[in-house]
A and B are shown apart, each in its own frame.
Chain A
Amino acid sequence: MYTSVDAISIDTDVSIVAHAPSTTRTLAPDPLEQLLRVFSSLQHVPMASSTGTASGAVAFEASNPAGTMYEAGPREEEPGLEAWTGARLSAWLQQASRDHELAVIAMDPNSERAPAANLVAEIEELANFEDDWDMHGASRVHRNAIENAASFAWKLGAFASQFEPFADPDGSAGLEGHTAKGDVYLSFAPSGRVAYVVKTKSGMHRGYGADESVLRQLLAGLL
Protein backbone atom coordinates (compact mmCIF):
# COMPACT_ATOMS: atom_id res chain seq x y z
CA MET A 1 0.00 0.00 0.00
CA TYR A 2 1.21 3.48 -0.73
CA THR A 3 1.65 5.72 2.23
CA SER A 4 2.48 8.78 0.21
CA VAL A 5 3.02 9.75 -3.37
CA ASP A 6 5.83 12.08 -4.24
CA ALA A 7 5.57 12.26 -7.96
CA ILE A 8 3.30 11.03 -10.64
CA SER A 9 4.45 10.85 -14.17
CA ILE A 10 2.50 10.18 -17.28
CA ASP A 11 4.18 7.70 -19.55
CA THR A 12 1.39 7.40 -22.05
CA ASP A 13 -2.29 8.09 -22.07
CA VAL A 14 -2.96 4.84 -20.30
CA SER A 15 -0.04 4.41 -17.99
CA ILE A 16 0.73 6.32 -14.86
CA VAL A 17 3.84 5.72 -12.84
CA ALA A 18 3.61 6.73 -9.23
CA HIS A 19 6.85 7.17 -7.35
CA ALA A 20 6.25 6.44 -3.71
CA PRO A 21 8.89 5.91 -1.04
CA SER A 22 10.83 2.77 -1.89
CA THR A 23 8.31 1.93 -4.56
CA THR A 24 7.84 2.47 -8.24
CA ARG A 25 4.82 0.86 -9.79
CA THR A 26 3.16 1.17 -13.10
CA LEU A 27 -0.53 1.65 -12.89
CA ALA A 28 -2.59 0.40 -15.79
CA PRO A 29 -4.83 0.06 -17.67
CA ASP A 30 -7.25 2.65 -16.34
CA PRO A 31 -5.02 5.41 -15.05
CA LEU A 32 -7.66 7.59 -13.57
CA GLU A 33 -9.34 4.86 -11.62
CA GLN A 34 -6.01 3.46 -10.51
CA LEU A 35 -4.76 6.85 -9.49
CA LEU A 36 -7.90 7.47 -7.53
CA ARG A 37 -7.44 4.14 -5.78
CA VAL A 38 -3.90 5.08 -4.88
CA PHE A 39 -4.99 8.45 -3.61
CA SER A 40 -7.78 6.99 -1.54
CA SER A 41 -5.36 4.56 0.13
CA LEU A 42 -2.93 7.23 1.17
CA GLN A 43 -2.26 7.54 4.86
CA HIS A 44 -0.18 10.64 4.48
CA VAL A 45 -1.05 12.99 1.68
CA PRO A 46 0.77 16.26 2.01
CA MET A 47 -0.67 17.67 -1.14
CA ALA A 48 -3.87 16.14 -2.30
CA SER A 49 -7.22 14.66 -1.62
CA SER A 50 -9.53 12.92 -3.96
CA THR A 51 -13.23 12.51 -4.02
CA GLY A 52 -15.51 10.34 -6.01
CA THR A 53 -19.16 11.11 -6.35
CA ALA A 54 -22.06 8.75 -6.55
CA SER A 55 -22.42 9.52 -10.22
CA GLY A 56 -18.88 8.38 -10.85
CA ALA A 57 -17.52 11.83 -11.36
CA VAL A 58 -14.05 12.34 -10.05
CA ALA A 59 -12.24 15.33 -8.70
CA PHE A 60 -8.68 15.83 -7.62
CA GLU A 61 -7.56 18.58 -5.34
CA ALA A 62 -4.04 19.51 -4.51
CA SER A 63 -2.81 22.32 -2.37
CA ASN A 64 0.67 23.59 -1.77
CA PRO A 65 2.08 24.80 1.56
CA ALA A 66 1.19 28.37 0.64
CA GLY A 67 -2.43 27.36 0.54
CA THR A 68 -2.99 27.63 -3.20
CA MET A 69 -5.61 25.14 -4.21
CA TYR A 70 -5.72 23.33 -7.49
CA GLU A 71 -8.83 21.57 -8.52
CA ALA A 72 -9.56 19.28 -11.37
CA GLY A 73 -12.26 16.89 -12.34
CA PRO A 74 -15.61 16.94 -13.97
CA ARG A 75 -18.05 19.36 -12.47
CA GLU A 76 -21.60 18.34 -11.94
CA GLU A 77 -22.58 19.84 -15.24
CA GLU A 78 -19.69 18.24 -17.06
CA PRO A 79 -19.51 14.78 -18.53
CA GLY A 80 -18.46 12.00 -16.21
CA LEU A 81 -15.44 9.82 -15.90
CA GLU A 82 -15.15 9.02 -19.57
CA ALA A 83 -14.31 12.65 -20.30
CA TRP A 84 -11.19 12.30 -18.21
CA THR A 85 -8.84 10.70 -20.63
CA GLY A 86 -5.22 10.22 -19.77
CA ALA A 87 -4.40 13.21 -21.90
CA ARG A 88 -6.75 15.44 -19.98
CA LEU A 89 -5.44 14.22 -16.67
CA SER A 90 -1.95 14.76 -17.92
CA ALA A 91 -2.77 18.30 -18.94
CA TRP A 92 -4.18 19.08 -15.53
CA LEU A 93 -1.26 17.57 -13.68
CA GLN A 94 1.14 19.50 -15.85
CA GLN A 95 -0.70 22.68 -15.01
CA ALA A 96 -0.52 21.86 -11.32
CA SER A 97 3.14 20.97 -11.54
CA ARG A 98 4.05 24.52 -12.45
CA ASP A 99 4.03 25.27 -8.75
CA HIS A 100 7.35 24.03 -7.44
CA GLU A 101 5.96 23.52 -3.96
CA LEU A 102 3.40 21.07 -5.17
CA ALA A 103 4.20 17.50 -4.24
CA VAL A 104 2.28 16.07 -7.17
CA ILE A 105 3.78 16.66 -10.54
CA ALA A 106 3.07 15.37 -13.94
CA MET A 107 5.76 15.03 -16.45
CA ASP A 108 7.00 13.29 -19.44
CA PRO A 109 9.57 10.68 -18.37
CA ASN A 110 12.01 12.46 -20.64
CA SER A 111 11.28 15.77 -19.01
CA GLU A 112 14.22 17.61 -17.53
CA ARG A 113 12.26 17.67 -14.29
CA ALA A 114 12.36 13.89 -13.94
CA PRO A 115 15.72 13.90 -12.07
CA ALA A 116 14.37 16.48 -9.63
CA ALA A 117 11.24 14.39 -9.06
CA ASN A 118 13.39 11.35 -8.34
CA LEU A 119 15.57 13.32 -5.95
CA VAL A 120 12.51 14.69 -4.16
CA ALA A 121 11.20 11.14 -3.77
CA GLU A 122 14.54 10.15 -2.20
CA ILE A 123 14.45 13.18 0.08
CA GLU A 124 10.97 12.17 1.22
CA GLU A 125 12.40 8.83 2.31
CA LEU A 126 14.37 10.66 4.98
CA ALA A 127 11.08 10.85 6.85
CA ASN A 128 11.43 7.12 7.54
CA PHE A 129 14.31 7.67 9.95
CA GLU A 130 13.25 7.57 13.58
CA ASP A 131 14.92 9.14 16.59
CA ASP A 132 18.31 7.59 17.36
CA TRP A 133 18.64 6.13 13.86
CA ASP A 134 22.44 6.36 14.14
CA MET A 135 22.52 4.76 17.63
CA HIS A 136 24.14 7.92 18.92
CA GLY A 137 21.07 9.97 19.71
CA ALA A 138 20.28 11.39 16.28
CA SER A 139 17.00 13.24 15.84
CA ARG A 140 14.53 12.18 13.23
CA VAL A 141 14.58 14.39 10.15
CA HIS A 142 12.15 17.22 10.67
CA ARG A 143 9.28 17.57 8.19
CA ASN A 144 10.12 21.25 7.59
CA ALA A 145 13.71 20.30 6.81
CA ILE A 146 12.54 17.76 4.27
CA GLU A 147 10.30 20.32 2.62
CA ASN A 148 13.10 22.89 2.52
CA ALA A 149 15.44 20.39 0.87
CA ALA A 150 12.76 19.24 -1.55
CA SER A 151 11.96 22.81 -2.51
CA PHE A 152 15.63 23.36 -3.34
CA ALA A 153 15.81 20.04 -5.22
CA TRP A 154 13.09 21.13 -7.64
CA LYS A 155 15.21 24.11 -8.60
CA LEU A 156 18.14 21.90 -9.54
CA GLY A 157 16.32 20.66 -12.62
CA ALA A 158 18.33 18.18 -14.64
CA PHE A 159 21.34 18.59 -12.30
CA ALA A 160 19.37 16.88 -9.53
CA SER A 161 20.70 13.54 -10.74
CA GLN A 162 24.10 14.57 -9.35
CA PHE A 163 22.73 15.00 -5.84
CA GLU A 164 21.86 12.56 -3.11
CA PRO A 165 20.12 13.14 0.20
CA PHE A 166 21.33 12.24 3.65
CA ALA A 167 19.88 12.48 7.14
CA ASP A 168 21.62 15.00 9.35
CA PRO A 169 21.68 13.81 12.99
CA ASP A 170 20.46 17.21 14.22
CA GLY A 171 17.15 16.80 12.37
CA SER A 172 18.17 18.68 9.23
CA ALA A 173 17.95 17.25 5.71
CA GLY A 174 21.21 17.07 3.78
CA LEU A 175 22.09 16.99 0.13
CA GLU A 176 25.47 16.10 -1.31
CA GLY A 177 26.40 16.69 -4.89
CA HIS A 178 29.42 15.60 -6.87
CA THR A 179 30.27 17.04 -10.27
CA ALA A 180 33.36 17.19 -12.42
CA LYS A 181 34.02 20.68 -11.07
CA GLY A 182 33.74 19.88 -7.39
CA ASP A 183 31.64 18.75 -4.45
CA VAL A 184 28.85 20.40 -2.53
CA TYR A 185 27.35 19.54 0.85
CA LEU A 186 24.15 21.22 2.02
CA SER A 187 22.19 20.87 5.21
CA PHE A 188 18.68 22.32 5.36
CA ALA A 189 17.55 23.07 8.90
CA PRO A 190 13.87 23.02 9.89
CA SER A 191 14.14 26.76 10.52
CA GLY A 192 14.99 27.40 6.87
CA ARG A 193 18.68 28.10 7.46
CA VAL A 194 21.08 26.31 5.16
CA ALA A 195 24.63 25.27 5.97
CA TYR A 196 26.79 24.74 2.92
CA VAL A 197 30.26 23.59 1.97
CA VAL A 198 31.35 23.91 -1.64
CA LYS A 199 34.73 22.53 -2.62
CA THR A 200 36.12 23.22 -6.05
CA LYS A 201 39.60 23.10 -7.51
CA SER A 202 39.93 26.81 -6.81
CA GLY A 203 39.08 26.54 -3.13
CA MET A 204 36.51 25.90 -0.47
CA HIS A 205 33.54 28.05 0.50
CA ARG A 206 31.28 27.49 3.44
CA GLY A 207 28.57 29.36 5.26
CA TYR A 208 25.49 29.04 7.41
CA GLY A 209 22.23 30.83 6.90
CA ALA A 210 22.78 31.53 3.26
CA ASP A 211 19.91 32.79 1.19
CA GLU A 212 19.08 31.08 -2.06
CA SER A 213 20.78 33.65 -4.25
CA VAL A 214 24.13 32.88 -2.60
CA LEU A 215 23.55 29.18 -3.01
CA ARG A 216 22.61 29.59 -6.64
CA GLN A 217 25.75 31.60 -7.31
CA LEU A 218 27.91 28.95 -5.72
CA LEU A 219 26.17 26.14 -7.52
CA ALA A 220 26.35 27.97 -10.83
CA GLY A 221 30.10 27.57 -10.73
CA LEU A 222 29.78 23.93 -9.95
CA LEU A 223 27.11 22.66 -12.30
Chain B
Amino acid sequence: MSFGNYLLASCKLWVLFLQHSSSALAGLRSPMSVNDREVMGRELFSGHLDNKKKRRLKPNVFMPKDKKGISVNRLSLAPRDLFLALARRHLYKRRRRATATNFYGFAEISAGDIRNASIGGSDNRCEVQGTVTAANPFHADIRLPPDTEKDARLEVARQLLEAARYEPLK
Protein backbone atom coordinates (compact mmCIF):
# COMPACT_ATOMS: atom_id res chain seq x y z
CA MET B 1 0.00 0.00 0.00
CA SER B 2 1.81 3.08 -1.19
CA PHE B 3 1.59 6.35 0.68
CA GLY B 4 0.40 7.97 -2.55
CA ASN B 5 -2.67 5.72 -2.78
CA TYR B 6 -3.46 6.37 0.85
CA LEU B 7 -3.13 10.14 0.41
CA LEU B 8 -5.29 10.05 -2.71
CA ALA B 9 -7.98 8.06 -0.90
CA SER B 10 -7.91 10.49 2.01
CA CYS B 11 -8.24 13.48 -0.34
CA LYS B 12 -11.19 11.88 -2.12
CA LEU B 13 -12.87 11.26 1.23
CA TRP B 14 -12.43 14.92 2.15
CA VAL B 15 -13.98 16.05 -1.14
CA LEU B 16 -16.95 13.77 -0.50
CA PHE B 17 -17.18 14.99 3.07
CA LEU B 18 -17.37 18.61 1.93
CA GLN B 19 -20.24 17.64 -0.37
CA HIS B 20 -21.91 15.76 2.48
CA SER B 21 -21.42 18.72 4.80
CA SER B 22 -22.99 21.20 2.40
CA SER B 23 -26.09 19.09 1.92
CA ALA B 24 -26.32 18.40 5.66
CA LEU B 25 -26.02 22.09 6.54
CA ALA B 26 -28.56 22.98 3.85
CA GLY B 27 -30.95 20.64 5.65
CA LEU B 28 -30.03 22.27 8.99
CA ARG B 29 -28.28 19.13 10.20
CA SER B 30 -24.77 18.73 11.52
CA PRO B 31 -22.49 16.79 9.16
CA MET B 32 -21.41 14.87 12.27
CA SER B 33 -24.88 13.59 13.04
CA VAL B 34 -25.40 10.02 11.89
CA ASN B 35 -28.68 8.93 10.36
CA ASP B 36 -30.20 5.68 11.71
CA ARG B 37 -30.05 4.17 8.23
CA GLU B 38 -26.33 4.79 7.78
CA VAL B 39 -24.17 1.69 7.63
CA MET B 40 -21.18 1.73 9.94
CA GLY B 41 -18.16 -0.51 9.43
CA ARG B 42 -15.69 -1.75 12.02
CA GLU B 43 -12.35 -2.77 10.52
CA LEU B 44 -11.57 -6.43 11.12
CA PHE B 45 -8.04 -7.63 11.73
CA SER B 46 -6.50 -10.89 12.89
CA GLY B 47 -8.12 -11.83 16.18
CA HIS B 48 -11.55 -10.52 15.26
CA LEU B 49 -12.64 -13.61 13.36
CA ASP B 50 -13.00 -17.18 14.47
CA ASN B 51 -9.91 -19.15 13.57
CA LYS B 52 -11.82 -22.22 12.49
CA LYS B 53 -14.86 -20.57 10.93
CA LYS B 54 -13.33 -17.51 9.32
CA ARG B 55 -16.65 -15.94 8.62
CA ARG B 56 -17.83 -15.73 12.20
CA LEU B 57 -17.22 -12.57 14.18
CA LYS B 58 -15.82 -12.75 17.69
CA PRO B 59 -17.22 -10.69 20.57
CA ASN B 60 -14.07 -8.56 20.70
CA VAL B 61 -15.08 -6.82 17.45
CA PHE B 62 -17.12 -4.36 19.49
CA MET B 63 -15.07 -4.37 22.65
CA PRO B 64 -13.01 -1.23 23.31
CA LYS B 65 -9.84 -1.31 25.37
CA ASP B 66 -11.40 1.03 27.92
CA LYS B 67 -14.56 3.06 28.32
CA LYS B 68 -13.76 5.21 25.29
CA GLY B 69 -15.62 4.85 22.03
CA ILE B 70 -15.39 2.18 19.37
CA SER B 71 -13.98 3.42 16.06
CA VAL B 72 -16.07 2.83 12.94
CA ASN B 73 -16.32 4.18 9.40
CA ARG B 74 -19.45 5.72 7.90
CA LEU B 75 -19.41 3.25 5.05
CA SER B 76 -22.56 4.36 3.27
CA LEU B 77 -21.25 7.87 2.61
CA ALA B 78 -18.28 7.01 0.36
CA PRO B 79 -17.09 4.25 -1.98
CA ARG B 80 -15.86 1.20 -0.11
CA ASP B 81 -12.45 1.16 -1.78
CA LEU B 82 -11.53 4.46 -0.13
CA PHE B 83 -12.06 2.98 3.33
CA LEU B 84 -10.18 -0.13 2.29
CA ALA B 85 -7.22 2.06 1.32
CA LEU B 86 -7.15 3.54 4.83
CA ALA B 87 -7.40 0.12 6.47
CA ARG B 88 -4.62 -1.25 4.32
CA ARG B 89 -2.43 1.68 5.26
CA HIS B 90 -2.99 0.85 8.95
CA LEU B 91 -1.97 -2.68 8.17
CA TYR B 92 1.11 -1.59 6.25
CA LYS B 93 2.30 0.56 9.13
CA ARG B 94 1.66 -2.27 11.53
CA ARG B 95 3.60 -4.79 9.49
CA ARG B 96 6.64 -2.57 9.50
CA ARG B 97 6.92 -2.82 13.24
CA ALA B 98 5.36 -6.05 14.40
CA THR B 99 4.23 -9.52 13.55
CA ALA B 100 1.88 -10.42 10.75
CA THR B 101 -1.67 -9.18 10.97
CA ASN B 102 -4.26 -9.49 8.26
CA PHE B 103 -7.15 -7.27 7.28
CA TYR B 104 -10.37 -9.18 6.64
CA GLY B 105 -12.93 -6.53 5.75
CA PHE B 106 -15.64 -4.90 7.81
CA ALA B 107 -18.22 -5.82 10.41
CA GLU B 108 -21.24 -3.85 9.23
CA ILE B 109 -24.00 -2.54 11.43
CA SER B 110 -26.61 0.17 10.98
CA ALA B 111 -26.57 3.24 13.18
CA GLY B 112 -30.13 2.37 14.21
CA ASP B 113 -29.02 -1.02 15.49
CA ILE B 114 -26.18 0.63 17.39
CA ARG B 115 -28.68 2.92 19.10
CA ASN B 116 -30.85 -0.06 19.98
CA ALA B 117 -28.03 -1.55 22.04
CA SER B 118 -28.60 -0.64 25.66
CA ILE B 119 -27.83 -1.52 29.24
CA GLY B 120 -30.64 -1.85 31.71
CA GLY B 121 -33.30 -0.06 29.69
CA SER B 122 -33.90 2.48 26.99
CA ASP B 123 -32.37 5.39 28.95
CA ASN B 124 -28.94 3.84 28.73
CA ARG B 125 -28.33 3.35 25.03
CA CYS B 126 -25.29 3.39 22.80
CA GLU B 127 -24.83 6.41 20.57
CA VAL B 128 -22.86 6.95 17.39
CA GLN B 129 -21.44 10.27 16.31
CA GLY B 130 -19.18 11.45 13.49
CA THR B 131 -15.66 12.24 14.70
CA VAL B 132 -13.53 13.60 11.89
CA THR B 133 -9.86 12.64 11.79
CA ALA B 134 -7.17 14.08 9.55
CA ALA B 135 -7.08 11.00 7.36
CA ASN B 136 -10.73 10.06 7.54
CA PRO B 137 -13.51 12.63 7.69
CA PHE B 138 -16.05 9.80 7.73
CA HIS B 139 -14.72 8.38 10.95
CA ALA B 140 -17.23 7.91 13.76
CA ASP B 141 -17.24 6.65 17.33
CA ILE B 142 -19.73 4.36 18.98
CA ARG B 143 -20.13 5.75 22.47
CA LEU B 144 -21.05 3.30 25.18
CA PRO B 145 -23.62 4.05 27.86
CA PRO B 146 -21.98 6.02 30.70
CA ASP B 147 -20.41 4.34 33.72
CA THR B 148 -20.51 0.87 32.30
CA GLU B 149 -18.67 -1.83 34.24
CA LYS B 150 -16.84 -4.60 32.44
CA ASP B 151 -19.81 -6.95 32.34
CA ALA B 152 -21.99 -4.21 30.85
CA ARG B 153 -19.42 -3.60 28.11
CA LEU B 154 -19.41 -7.33 27.44
CA GLU B 155 -23.20 -7.26 27.13
CA VAL B 156 -23.11 -4.27 24.76
CA ALA B 157 -20.50 -6.09 22.66
CA ARG B 158 -22.83 -9.09 22.52
CA GLN B 159 -25.81 -7.00 21.39
CA LEU B 160 -23.77 -5.21 18.71
CA LEU B 161 -22.35 -8.52 17.56
CA GLU B 162 -25.84 -9.96 17.16
CA ALA B 163 -26.88 -7.04 14.98
CA ALA B 164 -23.70 -6.94 12.88
CA ARG B 165 -22.80 -8.94 9.83
CA TYR B 166 -19.44 -9.75 8.35
CA GLU B 167 -18.69 -8.26 4.97
CA PRO B 168 -15.60 -10.03 3.62
CA LEU B 169 -13.26 -8.49 1.12
CA LYS B 170 -14.33 -9.06 -2.45
Interface, chain A (partner B; CB < 8 A) = 122, 125, 128-130, 132-139, 164, 166-170, 174, 176, 183, 185, 187, 189, 193, 195-197, 199, 204, 206-208
Contact = CB atoms under 8 A, between A and B. Distances in A.
A166 B45 contact: no
16 contacts: A125-B51, A135-B43, A135-B90, A136-B70, A137-B65, A166-B59, A168-B63, A169-B60, A170-B65, A170-B66, A174-B59, A196-B151, A196-B154, A199-B158, A207-B151, A208-B151
B73 to A, nearest CB: 12
Contacts of A176: 58-59
B116 to A, nearest CB: 15
Contacts of A208: 149-151
B23 interface: no
A168 B155 contact: no
Nearest to B58: A166
Given A197-B158, A204-B155, A206-B154, A134 B59 contact: no
Interface string B140-170: 0000000001111111011000000000000
A108 B27 CA distance: 69
Given A164-B50, A169-B65, A206 B59 contact: no
Contact of B48 (A128, A134, A168, A187): A134
B98 A130 contact: yes
Given A135-B94, A138-B65, A166-B47, 7 more contacts: A136-B70, A168-B63, A176-B59, A183-B158, A185-B157, A187-B154, A193-B150
A134 B64 CA distance: 10
A195 B47 CA distance: 20
A136 B51 CA distance: 20
B59 A185 contact: yes
B133 interface: no
Contacts of A139: 65
Contacts of A134: 45, 47-48, 60
A91 to B, nearest CB: 33
Nearest to A199: B158
Contacts of A174: 59-60
A117 B45 CA distance: 27
Interface in B35-88: 43, 45-48, 50-52, 58-60, 63-66, 70-71
Contacts of B43: 135
A170 B52 CA distance: 24
A169 B151 CA distance: 14
Contacts of A206: 151-152, 154-155
Contact of B63 (A125, A169, A196): A169
A46 B98 CA distance: 24
A148 B154 CA distance: 18
Contacts of A183: 158
Nearest to B66: A170
B153 to A, nearest CB: 8
B19 interface: no
B54 to A, nearest CB: 13
Given A167-B47, A169-B60, A185-B59, A136 B65 contact: yes
Nearest to A189: B150
Contacts of B52: 164
B2 interface: no
Nearest to A175: B59
Please list the 10 inter-chain residue pairs (A to B) with the smallest Cβ-Cβ separation, ordered nearest first.
Answer: A195-B150, A208-B151, A169-B65, A206-B151, A195-B151, A166-B58, A208-B150, A197-B155, A197-B154, A166-B60
Nearest to A167: B47
B120 to A, nearest CB: 10
Contacts of B64: 136, 169
